[in-house]
Structure formats: structure tokens, C-alpha cells
Amino acid sequence: MDLWHGGPVSDVPWAALAPILLLALGFVIWVLVDIARAPSVKYLPKWAWMVISVISIPVGGIVYLLLGRDRDQ
């Protein structure tokens, strides 16, 4: 079965998903920049927060913003 022509991939409404994908990409970039610019983060090293944020979009970024961000600085 050809996945690109008449298969499950061609049935995806890409035009409808594009804004959601762009929003998720923008959120991940914003979180990564925030982690990189932060003087310090809580609970985990910066590289670990970055990996978690990229692997588990958007949950990793939300968890970082709620728990890992050091608001004192």
C-alpha cells in the first residue's frame, strides 16, 4: 500500500494542522531560548530541561515553566 497516495498520510488535513504545528514549534523555540538565557534553573540541569521540552511537546515546556524556571533571578 502506498502511504502517500490514498493512504493514511494523505487523509490528514495538513492545512488545518499547520497552525497548531507552527504554534507548537514556536512554543518549543521560546522555551529553549528561555532555558538558554536563564542564569539558573531548578531541579534539573539546563540540558535535561531542553531534552524534556523537545521530546514531550508541549507538556515538557509547560512543566519547565511551572517547576523548572527559577523566578528568583
Q: pLDDT tens for residues 11-27?
A: 778 888 899 999 999 99
Could you tell me if residue 52 is inside a domain? yes
Could you tell me if residue 5 is inside a domain? no
Could you tell me if residue 42 is inside a domain? yes
pLDDT of residue 70: 87
Could you tell me if residue 73 is inside a domain? no
Q: Taking a C-beta distance cutoff of 8 angstroms, is the pair 41, 69 a contact? A: yes
Q: What is the pLDDT of residues 25-47, one digit of tens each?
A: 999 999 999 999 999 999 999 99
Q: Residue 58, preceding bond cis, omega within 30 degrees?
A: yes
Mean pLDDT for all residues in the chain: 88
Q: Which domain range does residue 50 map to? A: 24-68
Task: Report how many domains make up the chain.
Answer: 1
